[in-house]
Amino acid sequence: MIRGVIFDLDNTLVDFMAMKRQAVEAAAWAMVDCGLPMTIEETKAGIYKTYDALGIEYQQVFDQFLTNELGYIDYKILAAGVVAYRKAREAALLPYPHVKMTISQLLRQGLRLAVLSDAPRREAWLRLCQLGLHHDFDVVVTYEDTGFRKPSPQPFERVLRDLDMAPREVIMVGDWPERDVAGAKSLGLWTVWAKYGSTFKVEKTDADFEVSGIHELPRVIDAINAREEMKLGK
Task: Say yes or no: 10 and 24 in one domain.
Answer: no
Q: What's the rounded Cα separation, in Å, for the pair 142 and 125?
A: 9
pLDDT at 199: 77
Q: What's the rounded Cα separation, in Å, for the pair 29 and 3?
A: 47
Q: How many CB atoms lie within 10 A of CB 232?
A: 7
Domain final position from 57, 92, 127: 92
Q: What radius of gyration, in Å, describes the C-alpha atoms of the chain?
A: 20
Angle (CA) 193 196 138, round 5°: 60
* CATH number of the CATH domain containing 177: 3.40.50.1000
pLDDT at 50: 96
Total number of domains constituting the chain: 2
Domain final position from 60, 92, 124: 92
Task: Say yes or no: 48 and 106 in one domain.
Answer: no
pLDDT at 81: 97
Percent of the chain with pLDDT over 90: 87
Task: Say yes or no: 28 and 129 in one domain.
Answer: no
* CATH number of the CATH domain containing 47: 1.10.150.520
Contacts of 107 (CB under 8 A, 6+ apart): 113, 136
SS3 at position 113: strand
Task: Say yes or no: 85 and 105 in one domain.
Answer: no
Task: Say yes or no: 87 and 108 in one domain.
Answer: no
SS3 at position 184: helix
Q: How many CB atoms lie within 10 A of CB 213?
A: 15
Task: Say yes or no: 73 and 120 in one domain.
Answer: no
**How would residue 117 be classed by pLDDT, with cut points 50, 70 and 90?**
very high
- What would the pLDDT profile of 178-213 be if each residue is shown by its tens digit? 999 999 999 999 999 999 998 777 777 899 999 999
Percent of the chain with pLDDT over 70: 99
* Average pLDDT taken over every residue of the chain: 94
